[in-house]
Amino acid sequence: MKLKNKTILITGGSSGIGLELARRLIALGNTVIITGRDSEKLHAAKRVLPQVHAIQSDVSDAGAIAALHAQVTAQFPALNVLINNAGIMRNLDLNDTRHGVADITREIDINLSGPLRMVQQFLPHLKAQKDAAIINVSSGLAFVPFASSPVYSATKAALHSYSQALRVQLRGSSVAVIELAPPGTETPLFRDEFKEEVKDMKAMDVKVLAEHAIKGIEAGKLEIRPGLSNVLKLMSRLAPEFMLNQLAKSFRPSRM
């Protein structure tokens, strides 16, 4: 898919990976709409990228997604690319009894239920376009889980599986299903949540990740696995226990 003159909706586009993708896509001549829960972050993104269209919305809220669909398809009827990027990543020790059910379900609601709801809501519109795409942002941890972030890893593994199945179901349609599986990426969320676990880790620069993503999409790749993500996919097949134990070395149990 050539990323020029497209109309693109990016969830979680006010910072990190989503904002950098928006920047690159606007520079290529696309119309870009971003969403996010935080109005202040959306305003900040708008100051940095005056051409971007920003809409406050929450992918964990089915009603908000329905309203978003109505607004976007009315204002931007040429919409033909959906990027499901919104996500949260928690450092979560399941032995810690201070964590309640809400700590578990919050990540599921945003990282997994959110993309599924978005696809279900926007798919009829996308199928009516001549050349469309759904791009689901999963993670290298879809292939090998990170013990410090068990729910996040599980949601991304599920999103990977869902993307594969959706791709099969949409064969013969005008909608391509692409999965972008970033490795550890240098974003505030990543560093703030995992200060000790990743202090010695070399994370990928978000600009480099965005470059990999755009090159992969334009080259027709259906699964884009930059850097360590490609290694994790390979090792999940060749030596899954070894790779799991390597990632587990950074896990630090809570002291209760």
Q: How far apart are the two ends of the chain, measured CA to CA in Å?
A: 51
CA 221/CA 188 separation, integer angstroms: 28
In which element (H, E) is residue 31 found? Answer: strand 31-36
CA 160/CA 171 separation, integer angstroms: 17
**Which tokens go with 220?**
């027709």
Q: How many CB atoms lie within 10 A of CB 47?
A: 8
DSSP string, 116-174: HHHHHHHHHHHHTSSSEEEEEE--GGGTS--TTSHHHHHHHHHHHHHHHHHHHHTTTSS
Identify the residue whose tokens are 């799991």.
244
CB 8 within 8 A of CB 122: no
Q: Is there a catalytic annotation at residue 152?
A: yes
For residue 136, the cross-strand partners are 84, 179
Given the residues 122, 143, 146, 152, the one annotated as active site: 152
Active site residues: 152
